[in-house]
Amino acid sequence: MINENIKRLRVANNITQVELAADLGVSKQCISNWENDYIQPSIEMLIKLAEYFKVSTDYILGLDDSNQINVDGLSDREIAHVRLLVEDLLNKK
């Protein structure tokens, strides 16, 4: 589950394994090993992944399937606009 969530987040953000590895300070092989479920990321790396993708560690672990958007620093009007965009996208399904 962790492996699938890491890969899903990476692909959704259009990031290669090489790019993610460079950004996190690990090897491309390390990312590949996580995604192929050969090894698990350390707790410290799990936290870095969550911060990098702006999700909770519970989301990566598969304990929480809600995906949240960080709206810190946005005005109330901007937050309302984001809500409308999300609602529009959800209604298209």
What pLDDT sits at residue 67?
66
Q: How confident is the model at residue 83 (pLDDT cuts 50, 70, 90)?
A: confident
CA distance 11 to 30: 16
Quick check: 90 pLDDT over 80? Answer: yes
pLDDT computed for residue 91 by the predictor: 87
Residues 22-52: tens digit of each pLDDT: 999 999 999 999 999 999 999 999 999 999 9
pTM equals 0.75
Binned at pLDDT 50, 70 and 90, residue 93 comes out as low
